[in-house]
Structure 1
Amino acid sequence: MHPAPFVRVFLIGGALLALAACAGSPRPIASAPAPTAPVPSEPVTIGIAAINDFHGNLEPPKQAAMLPDGQGGTASVPAGGAAYLATAVRQVRAQYPHHLTIAAGDLMGSSPLASALFLDEPAVEVMNRIGLDFNAVGNHEFDYGVPELLRKQSGGCAQHTERRPCQVEPFRGAQFRFLAANTVNRADGRTLFPGTALRSFGSGPGKVTVGLIGLTLKGTSDLVNSKVNAAVAFNDEAETANALVGSLKAQGADAVILVIHEGGRTSGDPDPNGCNALSGGIRPILDRLDRRVDLVISGHTHWAYVCEVAQPGRDQPLLLTSAGLWGEYVTDIAIQIDPVTHRMVGRRAKNVIVQSEAYNSPLRAIPNSAVVPRFSPDPDIAGYVARYVAASQAYVKRPVGWLAEPLEKAEGDAWGTGGRLGNLIADAQLEASRGAGARIACTNPFGIRRSLLPGPDHVVTYGDLYLVQPFGSELITLTLTGAELKEALEQQLDKDAPEQLLACSAGFIQTIDRSRPIGDRVVGATLDGAPIDPAQSYRITVNAYLANGGDSFAAFVKGRERTIGMTDIAALEAYLKPAQPIRSASREVRVKDLRPELKTNNLKAPPGITY
């Protein structure tokens, strides 16, 4: 991880001394002009260590990052964990006398219990200790509400949620700055946090200044609860950024960096430093972005990529990066700024895998890899994390039920489906809501966060369930007509969001054909063998996120006669509680795919697998 050497040459302007002769008497030597300051002739290099979507993963998450092995295959590398991430970030920064450490959102929220039980205070404090400079607020920063997010910045122990803050230690708040240019208070029209920042490096003629714009995705409004939406609005990303570039330039920014919690996905074999067929929400934003933006650091999709994105009117492609999730990567970025022309004249980036410790799971062993370097854990961070892990054990280790076999989170070619684990969750949610009249239950595969791995004695702990479903989302049973249900199913395959086939309960079978036009790709749907009647009403259970239109399933918002039930994790716990017989997930294929070769989520392997 050593950068190409940069040589700085200075041209020193001296004084010319002139002697003039005059008849009769000598004239004094003319006084020399004051020496001019050195003019640097080489660019100034600024290093950036960038992360995103840490999600409070204090411990190594038993995550295998995937990358080419150099021999035509794929290597699995155990990656992540705060102590290892701290070392990796430190090594990236050590290459550069001038540096920044930046996060593109979701440092917290959807976190393992060691952080979530304590309102993600330890996730913030870990970033303080790592030396984070800025974080562009993501959608999950709003999981605890706006007042609590403000406390995350300012510190203190004021209680804004059901959970008590400062359980382990006083909370000093983020020592780094949250940025949120497009998050606007509805009451006064001001941004919730500053939208921009300036950071200067060097001095005199060699001084250069970097301007930053921080954004979350406009679609955050679909991902947060009604109280958040009542307090703040999320404005258009490109319009917001473009309106701020001129101001940053006027304040002396030589380079402008957009840090945005929105991203893309790539296709084909996993390559954290590749960019095959980039798609996703970031693309239309880039197409509209002011050409004076020099670099985009992104997040949200949990993908790792380094992209060169062509834009009309730009001399060279725009550099776009993302560092996966859970601290599995840190992006090593170097930009070069010419202090004479006040322009960025060079840049490079690569994703560094944060290889941590080998591990075993009920599914397989993941040893350390010689393909990429290993990092040692930072002892200060490791000790700090251990305090919170110990404080969480009573919750994490509590037995809650039994499961016959490990169930893997669907990945690879099955990305965007629920697999057998999705079947189990949907069946549990139907069982939990039969009293509300439910006949069908469906869950969103993107909300299934990890594999469900019981112990060797088939025991499932609360910590196991929480890793799979960390949101605590209430189940909503609502009424839709068959026609409205068909509309919701069509939204699985539209272009408003990545393809995602709902995991639904036993007895509900749908048939899809991607060769048909958008809006007419669900060619059949049956319940207990009978076709869904467009005019008939059906009671359907979904989580509150889907019920409010999350993941672009707007048709569920039409649901009537809403009954609020238990949370998703409570439903799964109740389903697995009986010891006899031990539950086993259905192998039933509940989506019949007539044209699988037309699938748009064309992943040959996942960007990272959780075992």
Structure 2
Amino acid sequence: MNRRRMWSGRRPGVAIAAIISTVLTVLIVPNAVAGAAGTVPFSGNDAATGTRTVTIADITDFHGHIERGADNAAAFTLADSHNPDNMVPVSTGDLVGGSPYDSAVAKDQPTLDMAKAWGLTISAVGNHEFDRSVADFNNRIAAPANGIDWLCANVSARNKAQGGKLSNVKDYAIRDVNGKRIGFVGALTDALGSVATPQITKDADLDERAVDAVNRVAHELKQSGKVDAVVALIHADATAAQGLGKDVDVAYTGHTHAVKFGHTDGGAPIYEAGSFGRAMAVQDLVITGSGRRAKVTVENVDLGNGTEQASPTVPGVIRVEGLDAHTTQSAWMSAGSTGESMVDRSQRMYAVAHAHAAQVGGAIVGTLAAGANFDKRIENGQEDSVGMLVADANRAMIQRTLYAGERLPVVGFSNDGSLRTGKLDLDGNGKVSVREVDSLMALQFKAAHETLTGRDLKSVLAEQFRFKEGQLRRRWIGISSNVSYRYVERDSDGDGNHPAETAFDGDHDDRAVDIEDLTIDGKPVDDDDLVIVASNSYLLQGGDDYHAFRSGTNYGELNMSYSEPLKQYLAAHPQLAPKKMPTIGVKA
């Protein structure tokens, strides 16, 4: 017997539910589209040819944004109503990690519970799934109780084997839907080393390019006749999927938080559906035949009911944000509902998580001077004030706990990517709460330190600068207020090209500038001087392409989150105001 799933409060055996489903299908059918060619009718099933239609609804880089959980539930409900009981919801990675406080404070369990309410049972592994370590992902997030098949074909076979560090990860998963067998193959970005710590990269043990792994598994599935269609889920930029071959029928990508559309070398469409639960890619796989002889056509689906494309140039990706509250949704979403629809459950889950977060995150850890705030705006070519504040807090923590009385200077750093909100005092009330600090610093890094030479420190500072399209560009990094320096643009090479126009690979000096007149606490720093550096564990291990940090010695981590130094700094400095920016300029 085909066991029907319950979506949007549909009750099997109740006449009104069948009527509602029929009416919704009629309303939505005219809105299906094929590529960018225009409107075509929903093809559905054709008994004469054996054609069946399976609908895929993909989200990516949700990052625990459970405040949009009901919006996503509404979109999944619409997608299922378009093709009742023949829709498969999937994720292309980073379902959790780097999350807002409401989910992060509970280690993203609210997100995992919400995904279960959506019926989401398939996801590619993203880099942020590893935020709390590879072991935490494998043993907790990927635990069978959460109901998700986590896919990553480019993890080494030994690591996926029993006893491996990623034993709960699979190459692929197969779903029987509408009489067809759909194979889902996942992979993680080849650039894991640039977005994760060396330990995570080592523990994940990716031993194959993402596109090669997906092609290998897709070919095996198709040639063996195990599946009638293959869906690729690659947590990497859409361009990374272009090398997929003819065994892949549709590819979903992620990681860059963009809305994109393209094609693989094998002719399949590629979709990237934004981030944070704001967009969803919805496609029909129209399948005729089976196994190696199956013919698969991909058609974009417009869910109707007031939905629109997330980008005017990207067909097949719809805007989800605000969908639950859309006025045209209210009548049909509540019709026949028992109060147990996935939308209802998502709303209740968020309310519970939000209330818990408000209770534990409301404690005040610091106060700001009247009218003061710390934010990431760049003014007059100077550092953002919140970045410098975090750097100062890192410096103070290391000075107090490890290097009190030492004569070596201490410098603090903070990378822009580790600061997840635009400003510190989110509600502008002059009081900084635990929630506001943990929202700003939502990743799972540790407070860390190491020793650099003056020469290495200059290399770190120089790595802020790159030439792009002939112009000197700066990547902003937070630097403690006791540092000043000037930079000098380096000469171009004999071909007239600047050194930084080639990609930095860590094996050669690719700086666009030289650092001069470096001082710490007003004292000049020579190349052979030793300097203590305080920051977070990710940055000091070369994160965000700051490779010069890897030259450090005496690396160590404190037994505390990277947000703890800021909490203690705020507590020790009431009525805090931004400091004057250090001198950082071009040397004449």
Q: Normalising TM by the smaller chain, what interval?
A: 0.7 to 0.9
Q: Equivalents in 2 of 1:439, 1:374: separation in Å?
A: 58
> Which residue of 131, 136, 139 maps to 1:143?
131
Pairwise CA distance, 1:401: 0.5
Q: Equivalents in 2 of 1:412, 1:101: separation in Å?
A: 44
Contact 2:242–2:264 (CA<8 Å) still a contact in 1?
no
Pairwise CA distance, 1:258: 1.5
Distance 1:482 1:288, change over 3 A: farther
Q: Equivalents in 1 of 2:224, 2:380: separation in Å?
A: 48
Q: Equivalents in 1 of 2:563, 2:82: separation in Å?
A: 45
> Which residue of 576, 582, 591 maps to 2:570?
576
1:471 and 2:448 aligned: no
> Which residue of 545, 548, 558 maps to 2:538?
545
Q: Equivalents in 2 of 1:499, 1:333: separation in Å?
A: 40
Pairwise CA distance, 1:442: 1.8
1:215 corresponds to which residue?
A: 187
> Which residue of 228, 251, 270 maps to 1:296?
251
Contact 1:298–1:321 (CA<8 Å) still a contact in 2?
yes
Distance 1:8 1:86, change over 3 A: closer
Q: How does 1:52-451 map to 2 (within 5 A)?
A: 52-59=60-67, 81-97=68-84, 98-152=86-140, 155=143, 173-184=145-156, 192=167, 193-203=169-179, 208-221=180-193, 223-224=195-196, 228=200, 231-235=203-207, 236-252=209-225, 253-263=227-237, 283=239, 285-301=240-256, 303-309=257-263, 311=265, 314=266, 316=267, 318-339=268-289, 342-348=294-300, 349-356=315-322, 378-404=343-369, 405-409=372-376, 419-435=384-400, 436=403, 437-451=408-422
1:48 corresponds to which residue?
A: 56
Distance 1:8 1:233, change over 3 A: closer
Pairwise CA distance, 1:110: 2.3
Q: Equivalents in 2 of 1:211, 1:232: separation in Å?
A: 23
Comparing 326-335 and 286-295, the one that deviates more:
286-295
2:17 corresponds to which residue?
A: none
Contact 1:49–1:333 (CA<8 Å) still a contact in 2?
yes
Amino acid of the residue matched to residue 385 of structure 2? R
Residues 448-499 of structure 1, C-alpha deviations (whole Å, 9 max, x = no match)? 1112234443001010011110125223222222333344345445799x98
Q: Equivalents in 2 of 1:412, 1:200: separation in Å?
A: 56
Q: Equivalents in 2 of 1:582, 1:116: separation in Å?
A: 27
Amino acid of the residue matched to residue 555 of structure 1? A
Residues 190-247 of structure 1, C-alpha deviations (whole Å, 9 max, x = no match)? 76311112234334xxxx4332111122343555567655644123312222221211
Number of positions where the alignment pairs a residue of Structure 1 with one of Structure 2: 488
Distance 1:561 1:290, change over 3 A: same
Q: Equivalents in 2 of 1:353, 1:96: separation in Å?
A: 19
Structure with greater proportional helix content: 2
Larger Cα-atom Rg: 1
Question: Normalized against structure 2, the TM-score is what?
Answer: 0.72
Question: Normalized against structure 1, the TM-score is what?
Answer: 0.70
1:505 corresponds to which residue?
A: 480
Instruction: Show structure 2 runs of 5+ residues with no match.
Output: 1-27, 33-39, 301-314, 334-341, 491-496, 501-509
1:6 corresponds to which residue?
A: 42
Pairwise CA distance, 1:585: 5.5
Contact 2:183–2:231 (CA<8 Å) still a contact in 1?
yes
Q: Equivalents in 1 of 2:242, 2:428: separation in Å?
A: 51
Distance 1:129 1:561, change over 3 A: same
Q: Equivalents in 1 of 2:586, 2:221: separation in Å?
A: 53
Distance 1:471 1:456, change over 3 A: closer
Comparing 375-384 and 568-577, the one that deviates more:
375-384
Residues 317-368 of structure 1, C-alpha deviations (whole Å, 9 max, x = no match)? x53222322212222233433437523333434332233399xxxxxxxxx9
1:268 corresponds to which residue?
A: none
Aligned residues: percent identity? Answer: 23
Q: Equivalents in 2 of 1:421, 1:298: separation in Å?
A: 32
- 2:205 counterpart SS class: strand
Q: In angstroms, what is the RMSD of aligned CA positions? A: 3.9
Distance 1:85 1:188, change over 3 A: closer
Instruction: Show structure 1 runs of 5+ residues with no match.
Output: 11-36, 60-80, 156-171, 264-281, 359-367, 595-611
Amino acid of the residue matched to residue 572 of structure 1? L
Q: Equivalents in 2 of 1:93, 1:147: separation in Å?
A: 35
Amino acid of the residue matched to residue 466 of structure 1? D
Contact 1:221–1:233 (CA<8 Å) still a contact in 2?
no
Q: Equivalents in 2 of 1:123, 1:49: separation in Å?
A: 18
Q: Equivalents in 2 of 1:458, 1:585: separation in Å?
A: 17
Contact 2:251–2:269 (CA<8 Å) still a contact in 1?
yes
Distance 1:392 1:331, change over 3 A: same
Contact 2:232–2:251 (CA<8 Å) still a contact in 1?
yes
2:48 corresponds to which residue?
A: 38
Residues 288-345 of structure 1, C-alpha deviations (whole Å, 9 max, x = no match)? 43343232212222x231222474xx4x4x5322232221222223343343752333
Pairwise CA distance, 1:548: 1.8
Amino acid of the residue matched to residue 248 of structure 1? L
